Structure 1
Amino acid sequence: MSVPPSLRYEREAWRSGAGLLAAVDEVGRGSLAGPVSVGVVLLEPGCKPGPVGLRDSKLLTPEARTALVPRIRRWVLEGAVGHASAAEIDAVGILRALRLAAERAVASLSRTPDWVLLDGNHDYLTRRPQPLLLEFDDGLDALAAAPELEGGWRCEVPVRTLVKADLKCSSVAAASVLAKTERDALMAELAASYPAYGWDSNRGYSAPAHLAALEEHGPCEQHRRSWRLPGQRGPADELAADELPGWDTEASTGEVADEREQELA
């Protein structure tokens, strides 16, 4: 059995002077279709431990996640989920889309944080030149040419990144559950309009049935067309990039890789 998350890192932040803390986690980054979604929860110093059974969303069954949602919302001060669509991911890249989704989530809250705990090893929230961000893109020219989208809030507070924070931190685990349940519901709705791809079960990830459907039917408007997709015309057909207006044919393998999420859903 996995070790439950705790408030260890949140309490460290509060001891260092943080006040209203936002915990942030994403879901859908490695999906081939649908939005990327970012969950945010707000906690204040002195809060009680998280709900019994709280874990990283990937370790929970769909039923357990659904049951936790109302308990999480009673525990946190506020919680929200923001989304960036497949078209927006194509327009600005996955990292900027993550930031956009997070900004939308925070903008929907009635209060704003003064400290952020972010899952992962890269601060995609802060708007400043970051070498790691450039490393994930194909080059400076492509990054500079991407349009800037506004999410209604700008992160101008300290951000602590923590690898596997969704496993270690109760607040981040809570954000992951909110994001996962809301995105899964969105993918189930999209599955009704695009039944060939099986999104009600694979959530847009690269499950064999989804890949086979892409080979047979090609991508639809909900797919991330800037990534290499089965059934999509591209370099394999000896087409030049300028024959595919708006399509980035050199997607990062890190973006397309599975996150084990689909297997555990």
Structure 2
Amino acid sequence: MTLLAAPRTTVPRTAPHLRHERGLLRDGARLLAGMDEVGRGSLAGPVSVGVVVVDVTTRSAPKGVADSKLLAPAARTRLLPALGRWGLARAVGHASAEEIDAVGIIAALRLAGTRALASVSAVVGPVDVVLLDGSHDWLSRPAQADLFALDDEPDVPAPRVHVKVKADRTCASVAAASVLAKCERDAMMVDLSAQHPAYRWHENKGYASPEHMAALRELGPCVLHRRSWRLPGAGEESPLDLDDLDLELDPDGPY
């Protein structure tokens, strides 16, 4: 007797929603900003932070919005016109590779995030609360004076920060912010690739693909690489080993 395997069932993925945002807004906030970062684990180019501001009147997100890592590049691009009309304001902030080398990745994340907040605040006023993907609040300034702060960090009112693991998969404002940041940073890396074609950033967006790593071993890093990291071909002057970093892998690459 032949035994047939049971059919494989898939659980539908729940679309991101605004229930968590509305709960925070009911606690007294007027404006909430969903925020997410991309490029933290890249070897070259900026780290980027997207922000989307909503309030109690904001309707459900456009159909198809999801964590950018779950969407194909074409699907993300198709969402841009609708996301440009959704919410009260939206922006993407960046911190360059040079700034990452100067202050470290966490302070650079804060710099990119405050730049994005400054942009939306200029449109809608100060944001009351930020909904941040993950388990670590990298946006708030440390209680102790930050010795590595950059002089050009925007002076914006400090919002209350609420962190939520996997917010980019469940919270519409955060998912939308991740799509905007991913699309803008990817486009930047494609443009920069024309200046440094050997590293194939148009394909890997600066992440550690085999082709990128091979070019680093052969040519060493260029001015747009994060030279404070121990990159192949960088010599002994780079103190930070890639194995010490919690690197994200870009899902669009072959690695």
Q: TM-score, normalised by structure 2?
A: 0.88
- Aligned match of 1:4: 15
What CA deviation, in whole Å up to 9, does each residue of 1:156-208 have, x standing for no partner?
22110111110110000000000000000000010000000000010000011
- Aligned match of 2:209: 207
- Aligned match of 2:231: 229
Larger Rg: 2
Letter in 2 for 1:190: L
2:142 pairs with 1:128? yes
- Aligned match of 2:8: none
Count of residues in correspondence between the two structures: 241
CA–CA distance in 2 between the matches of 1:16 and 1:171? Answer: 17
Instruction: Please say if residues 42 and 207 of structure 2, whose CA atoms lie closer than 8 Å, have aligned partners that are also in contact.
Output: yes
2:176 pairs with 1:174? yes
- Aligned match of 1:116: 130
- Identity percentage of aligned residues: 52
Gaps of 5+ in 2: 1-11
* CA shift for structure 1 position 120: 1.2
Q: SS of 2:229's equivalent?
A: coil
**C-alpha RMSD of the superposition:** 2.0
Q: SS of 2:84's equivalent?
A: helix
2:29 corresponds to which of 7, 18, 23: 18
Gaps of 5+ in 1: 131-142, 235-243
Q: TM-score, normalised by structure 1?
A: 0.85
Instruction: Please say if residues 132 and 174 of structure 2, whose CA atoms lie closer than 8 Å, have aligned partners that are also in contact.
Output: yes
* CA shift for structure 1 position 260: 4.4
2:208 pairs with 1:250? no
* CA shift for structure 1 position 252: 6.3
Q: How do 1:64-103 and structure 2 match up within 5 A?
A: 64-103=75-114
